[in-house]
Amino acid sequence: MDILNVSDCYNVYIDNSIKGLYDALKANINKNEKIFFVTDSCVNKNYEDLINNLSKAFNADVCIINHGEENKNYDTINYIYSFLIDGKADRNSIIIAIGGGVVGDLTAFTAATFMRGIKFINVPTTLVSQVDSCIGGKSGYNFKEIKNVIGCFHNPEFVYISTHFLKSLNRNQLLDGFGEIIKYGLTIDKDILEFLDMNSNNLFLLEDTVYMSIIKKCINIKSNVIDKDFTDKAFRNILNFGHTTAHAIEVESNYSVPHGIAVALGILTALKLSEQLFDLNKGIYKDTIKLYTKLGMPSSYKVDNYEAFLYAIKHDKKNNDKINFVLLEDLNRCKIKVEVNEDDILLALKNSIDK
Ligand SMILES: NC(=O)c1ccc[n+]([C@@H]2O[C@H](COP(=O)([O-])OP(=O)(O)OC[C@H]3O[C@@H](n4cnc5c(N)ncnc54)[C@H](O)[C@@H]3O)[C@@H](O)[C@H]2O)c1
């Protein structure tokens, strides 16, 4: 097991088994602390025995929410609040999320707001959540067709990542995680792109050592970024590379395009915008497309309704009355808060994904 520390604040355990989860929970939970697990219907189906065993071992209640981004809303938060109140949760209670980014973000928000804040532990089970959403403290939910527009920062007590959970992901769910990994490669550490390229054939064999290494790299990168700008005032914006278009794709597609794939598509549009505005070396776009093809990553998304799409871009929570993008001046050299106009966006969409 590897242990990384984030911002001198909490540990991230990275393991290939589940046994360490029991040990970490035992070591970190006091007798007077009542435990509540939150998971979703799909994770529960895949890991019913594990969740039942954990619930017995820690005398815990299990709250099962409906899976999927379309349930990342206030109704689900309300459901978890009611579950906690019915289960007599108090200020010493701990909520443990076992699931992907949706379960993690919703549980973190619930923990941040229930009785003005209770403890939260994150056990991420998708590649997206293991390489990205499990650290950084962002919590939240979607409201009025705007992604993550309600939320706050609430750090976990610890994070337990096990590559064991990746074994039940299907090919598309795994691909979904590559979107965020490629984002780190283009914005911060180009070695990741080489690593994905060299391992493209065996990534789907799900070797623990390969994934533990990728996850460790990504957690280290994100940890260094949030150390500099936890509350996302400026520098942390680089982690939003590809995300403005991604959020519009998620909303316009009624969440049928999952987050990581939407990010991968949004990255292509951001690269074209970077070519248009910063004369970015065209080889970077070509190499990225080559990598997508090798991995089997989609590279097109037909926009149905431009008005709705631009509305979603304008109302992305990172934009106010102006439309700002994170772009690349060069590989691993980002420029944040670049103001772009609608014509630039439409041209970049046409020249990248909108086919
Ligand atoms: N807080 C942050 O910093 C941050 C960063 C990136 C993404 N996010 C958010 O994370 C969400 C995307 O995360 P996600 O892709 O994990 O979404 P998700 O939680 O919806 O999981 C995707 C699907 O996989 C299923 N699943 C989860 N674990 C599984 C497993 N081990 N085996 C089989 N199926 C499994 C889920 O039930 C769901 O149907 C988005 O809402 C995004 O906004 C947040």
* 183 and 148 belong to one structural domain: no
* 179 and 164 belong to one structural domain: no
Instruction: Report how far residue 78's alpha carbon sits from residue 149's, in angstroms, rounded to the nearest whole number.
Output: 17
Choosing from 135, 168, 201, the residue where a domain stops is 168
Cα–ligand 1 centroid distance for 100 (angstroms): 3
* 142 and 188 belong to one structural domain: no
Domain range spanning residue 100? Answer: 2-168
* 42 and 153 belong to one structural domain: yes
Give pLDDT tens digits for 51-72: 999 999 999 999 999 999 999 9
Cα–ligand 1 centroid distance for 279 (angstroms): 35
């409906």: which residue's tokens?
Answer: 66
Instruction: Pick from 102, 174, 178, 267 the residue to mutate for probing ligand 1's pocket: most ligand atoms within 8 Å of its CB.
Output: 102
Q: Give the pLDDT of residue 318.
A: 67
Considering only CA atoms, which residue is closest to atom 20 of ligand 1? 68
* 276 and 302 belong to one structural domain: yes
* 187 and 159 belong to one structural domain: no
Give pLDDT tens digits for 117-176: 999 999 999 999 999 999 999 999 999 988 999 999 999 999 999 999 999 999 999 999
* Mean pLDDT, residues 274-293: 98
Q: Give the pLDDT of residue 122.
A: 98
- pLDDT(216) > 70: yes
Q: Give the pLDDT of residue 145.
A: 85
* 312 and 249 belong to one structural domain: yes
Spatial contact of 148 and 240, defined as CB atoms under 8 Å apart: no
Instruction: Report how far residue 170's alpha carbon sits from residue 167's, in angstroms, rounded to the nearest whole number.
Output: 8
Q: Give the pLDDT of residue 100.
A: 98
* 58 and 207 belong to one structural domain: no
Q: Give the pLDDT of residue 97.
A: 98
Give pLDDT tens digits for 25-37: 999 999 889 999 9
- Tell me whether strands 61-65 and 35-40 are parallel, antiparallel or unpaired: parallel
Instruction: Report how far residue 335's alpha carbon sits from residue 332's, in angstroms, rounded to the nearest whole number.
Output: 10
Choosing from 150, 168, 186, the residue where a domain stops is 168
Instruction: Report how far residue 5's alpha carbon sits from residue 219's, in angstroms, rounded to the nearest whole number.
Output: 10
């909303």: which residue's tokens?
Answer: 251
Cα–ligand 1 centroid distance for 82 (angstroms): 23
DSSP state of 132: I
Choosing from 168, 194, 212, the residue where a domain stops is 168
- The token pair at 102 is 């949706």
Beta bridge partners of 139: 152
Spatial contact of 323 and 339, defined as CB atoms under 8 Å apart: yes
Instruction: Supply the CATH number for residue 211's domain.
Output: 1.20.1090.10
Instruction: Report how far residue 222's alpha carbon sits from residue 340's, in angstroms, rounded to the nearest whole number.
Output: 26
Instruction: Report how far residue 135's alpha carbon sits from residue 155's, in angstroms, rounded to the nearest whole number.
Output: 8
- pLDDT(320) > 80: no
* 286 and 200 belong to one structural domain: yes
* 287 and 156 belong to one structural domain: no
Instruction: Report how far residue 52's alpha carbon sits from residue 55's, in angstroms, rounded to the nearest whole number.
Output: 5
| CB of 258 closer than 6 angstroms to any ligand 1 atom | yes
Q: Give the pLDDT of residue 322.
A: 87
Residue among 316, 183, 310, 297 at smallest CA distance from 239:
183
> What are the CA-CA distances from residue 240 to residues 1, 42, 54, 318, 325 (Å)?
30, 28, 35, 9, 8
* 109 and 247 belong to one structural domain: no
Q: Give the pLDDT of residue 270.
A: 98
Cα–ligand 1 centroid distance for 132 (angstroms): 10
| CB of 99 closer than 6 angstroms to any ligand 1 atom | yes
Q: Which long-range contacts (CB under 8 A, 24 or more apart) does 230-234 make?
A: 230/7, 230/136, 230/137, 230/153, 231/153, 232/138, 234/336, 234/337
Instruction: Supply the CATH number for residue 31's domain.
Output: 3.40.50.1970
Reported confidence tier of residue 3, pLDDT bands at 50, 70, 90: very high
Tally of domains within the chain: 2
Cα–ligand 1 centroid distance for 107 (angstroms): 12
* 270 and 216 belong to one structural domain: yes
Considering only CA atoms, which residue is closest to atom 37 of ligand 1? 42
